[in-house]
Amino acid sequence: MGATLTVNQTTSEMIRLVNGQLVQESAQPNIYVVPPRGEYTFKVTGYALPFQMKKDPKYVKPGEPETQTMTRIEFTITEGKGIGKMFTQMWGFAIGERANLGKFCRAMGVDLTPDDNGAWDLDRLIGYEGKGYVTPSEKLDEAGRPKYANLSLDTVEGTAKPDREYRITITEKAPATNGNGSNGHHAADNDGWPE
């Protein structure tokens, strides 16, 4: 069973598709890029174990919690420019009608039916293929590069379902505490793409 665990802090654990199998590993921020603006064809190849992140205080209403449960979805570009490169998109860990993760899943054609225990598992996303328009953030990192990628949900279209289901049993580890709110990561400086 995948990401149906209780979450109480941030985590740096990822579930990734490696050689046809799901593996749990520590996050490796240096393997991700922020693609240049454009449409990309991709495959969902991983996700971050859900973590708690502080909300921007201006969006916290009286009586609401000051944190929200988040995850990152990993995409691998499968065609055209940037083939084989990976990027991530951070969304709240919710699949309701108005939730961004839920909108993404519906656009991709992912089955959102809960299991017999009333839970829905992030493992179900792995292997789905689609396309969508990506815009680099206007926020820049210390090196002057975009901090994260924004996948425009109104442009997402699912193109293929996985040929099989993927499942992993998650090993709970002591969570890290670096919920800095960064939505993506950068690969090595020389990725050959224009800024």
Residue position matching structure tokens 């990822």: 14
Helix, strand, or coil (residue 162): coil
**What confidence tens digit (pLDDT) does each residue in 117-169 have?**
888 899 999 999 999 999 999 999 888 999 999 999 999 999 999 999 999 98
* pLDDT score at 181: 38
The CA-atom distances, in angstroms, between 55 and each of 60, 66, 78, 152 are: 7, 6, 33, 21
CA distances from 190 to 77, 78, 194 (A): 18, 20, 10
Q: What is the mean pLDDT of each run of 10 residues along the chain (195 residues)?
A: 45 89 92 95 96 87 89 96 95 94 97 88 96 95 91 98 93 49 40 46
Position 82 scores a pLDDT of 94
| Backbone φ and ψ of 184, nearest 5° | -160, -175
Sign of CA pseudo-dihedral 151, 15, 126, 113: negative
Output the pLDDT for position 128. Answer: 98
Contact 14, 49 (CB under 8 A): yes
pLDDT at 110: 96
User: Is the separation of the CB atoms in 120 and 178 below 8 Å?
Assistant: no
Residue length of the chain: 195
Partner residues linked to 151 by β-bridges: 134
Contact 39, 132 (CB under 8 A): yes
Q: What is the DSSP string of 27-46?
A: --GGGB--PPSEEEEEEEEE
85/14 Cα distance (integer angstroms): 17
pLDDT of amino acid 11: 55
Cα–Cα distance measured from residue 174 to residue 75, given in angstroms and rounded to the nearest whole number: 26
Cβ 193 vs Cβ 40: under 8 Å: no
